[in-house]
Amino acid sequence: MLVGAAGRTYDGRVKARSLPLFPTSVIGSLPRPQWLLDLVSAHAARKVSDKEFDDRCDRAVLFAIALQEAAGLDIITDGEWRREGYFQVFIETGLEKGCILTLPP
Protein backbone atom coordinates (compact mmCIF):
# COMPACT_ATOMS: atom_id res chain seq x y z
CA MET A 1 0.00 0.00 0.00
CA LEU A 2 1.29 3.44 -0.92
CA VAL A 3 0.63 6.64 0.96
CA GLY A 4 0.54 9.76 -1.19
CA ALA A 5 1.65 13.25 -0.25
CA ALA A 6 -1.91 14.23 0.70
CA GLY A 7 -2.09 11.32 3.13
CA ARG A 8 -4.41 9.24 0.92
CA THR A 9 -3.61 5.53 0.84
CA TYR A 10 -3.53 3.53 -2.38
CA ASP A 11 -3.95 -0.23 -2.49
CA GLY A 12 -4.90 -0.71 -6.13
CA ARG A 13 -8.66 -0.53 -5.60
CA VAL A 14 -11.04 2.28 -6.53
CA LYS A 15 -14.20 2.83 -4.53
CA ALA A 16 -16.66 3.80 -7.27
CA ARG A 17 -19.26 5.22 -4.89
CA SER A 18 -16.76 7.79 -3.60
CA LEU A 19 -16.04 9.19 -7.08
CA PRO A 20 -17.77 12.22 -8.59
CA LEU A 21 -20.12 11.81 -11.56
CA PHE A 22 -17.28 12.65 -13.99
CA PRO A 23 -14.02 11.55 -12.33
CA THR A 24 -10.70 12.83 -13.62
CA SER A 25 -7.66 10.68 -14.32
CA VAL A 26 -4.58 10.42 -16.50
CA ILE A 27 -5.43 8.72 -19.78
CA GLY A 28 -2.70 6.29 -20.75
CA SER A 29 0.70 6.56 -19.16
CA LEU A 30 1.96 9.57 -17.26
CA PRO A 31 4.88 11.13 -19.19
CA ARG A 32 8.17 10.18 -17.56
CA PRO A 33 10.91 12.66 -16.65
CA GLN A 34 14.36 12.18 -18.20
CA TRP A 35 15.89 10.94 -14.92
CA LEU A 36 13.38 8.08 -14.89
CA LEU A 37 13.96 7.26 -18.56
CA ASP A 38 17.68 7.10 -17.76
CA LEU A 39 17.00 4.72 -14.85
CA VAL A 40 14.84 2.42 -16.98
CA SER A 41 17.55 2.34 -19.68
CA ALA A 42 20.28 1.63 -17.13
CA HIS A 43 18.22 -1.23 -15.67
CA ALA A 44 17.58 -2.72 -19.11
CA ALA A 45 21.33 -2.56 -19.78
CA ARG A 46 21.98 -4.30 -16.41
CA LYS A 47 23.86 -1.27 -15.08
CA VAL A 48 21.40 -1.02 -12.16
CA SER A 49 20.40 -4.00 -9.99
CA ASP A 50 16.80 -5.13 -9.72
CA LYS A 51 16.71 -4.06 -6.06
CA GLU A 52 18.06 -0.58 -6.77
CA PHE A 53 15.65 -0.24 -9.70
CA ASP A 54 12.68 -1.27 -7.54
CA ASP A 55 13.69 1.05 -4.69
CA ARG A 56 14.16 4.03 -6.97
CA CYS A 57 10.93 3.28 -8.87
CA ASP A 58 9.03 3.12 -5.57
CA ARG A 59 10.20 6.67 -4.84
CA ALA A 60 9.41 7.74 -8.42
CA VAL A 61 5.86 6.40 -8.10
CA LEU A 62 5.37 8.50 -4.96
CA PHE A 63 6.41 11.49 -7.08
CA ALA A 64 3.89 10.47 -9.77
CA ILE A 65 1.17 10.21 -7.14
CA ALA A 66 2.07 13.64 -5.74
CA LEU A 67 1.85 15.15 -9.25
CA GLN A 68 -1.63 13.72 -9.74
CA GLU A 69 -2.78 14.80 -6.29
CA ALA A 70 -1.51 18.33 -6.93
CA ALA A 71 -3.50 18.37 -10.16
CA GLY A 72 -6.62 17.34 -8.22
CA LEU A 73 -7.22 14.07 -10.08
CA ASP A 74 -9.84 11.72 -8.68
CA ILE A 75 -8.29 8.45 -9.85
CA ILE A 76 -4.59 8.09 -9.09
CA THR A 77 -2.29 5.63 -10.88
CA ASP A 78 1.37 4.68 -10.67
CA GLY A 79 1.81 6.28 -14.10
CA GLU A 80 3.15 2.99 -15.52
CA TRP A 81 6.61 4.35 -14.79
CA ARG A 82 8.29 0.96 -14.31
CA ARG A 83 7.75 -0.08 -17.91
CA GLU A 84 10.74 -0.20 -20.23
CA GLY A 85 8.52 0.90 -23.11
CA TYR A 86 4.96 0.93 -24.27
CA PHE A 87 5.19 -1.40 -27.27
CA GLN A 88 6.19 -4.62 -25.48
CA VAL A 89 2.62 -5.87 -25.20
CA PHE A 90 2.28 -5.76 -28.98
CA ILE A 91 5.69 -7.22 -29.62
CA GLU A 92 5.44 -9.92 -26.96
CA THR A 93 1.88 -11.04 -27.72
CA GLY A 94 1.08 -9.71 -31.19
CA LEU A 95 3.88 -11.45 -33.01
CA GLU A 96 3.09 -14.77 -31.34
CA LYS A 97 -0.39 -14.56 -32.87
CA GLY A 98 0.90 -13.83 -36.36
CA CYS A 99 0.62 -10.03 -36.30
CA ILE A 100 3.18 -8.13 -38.34
CA LEU A 101 4.21 -4.75 -37.03
CA THR A 102 5.97 -2.32 -39.32
CA LEU A 103 7.50 1.04 -38.66
CA PRO A 104 7.14 3.93 -41.08
CA PRO A 105 10.31 4.74 -43.06
Count of structural domains within the chain: 1
**Residues counted in the chain:** 105
Which residue positions in the chain have pLDDT lower than 50? 1, 3, 5
Query: What pLDDT is stored for residue 5 in this prediction?
Result: 47
Cβ contact 77:25 at 8 Å = yes
Look at residue 89 and tell me if it is in a domain. Answer: yes
Query: What pLDDT is stored for residue 82 in this prediction?
Result: 82
Query: What pLDDT is stored for residue 105 in this prediction?
Result: 66
Question: Which of helix, strand or coil describes residue 10?
Answer: strand
Distance, in Å, from the CA atom of 48 to the CA atom of 38, rounded to the nearest integer, reads 11
Look at residue 18 and tell me if it is in a domain. Answer: no
Look at residue 37 and tell me if it is in a domain. Answer: yes
pTM: 0.64
Look at residue 22 and tell me if it is in a domain. Answer: no
Query: What pLDDT is stored for residue 50 in this prediction?
Result: 95
Question: Which of helix, strand or coil describes residue 105?
Answer: coil
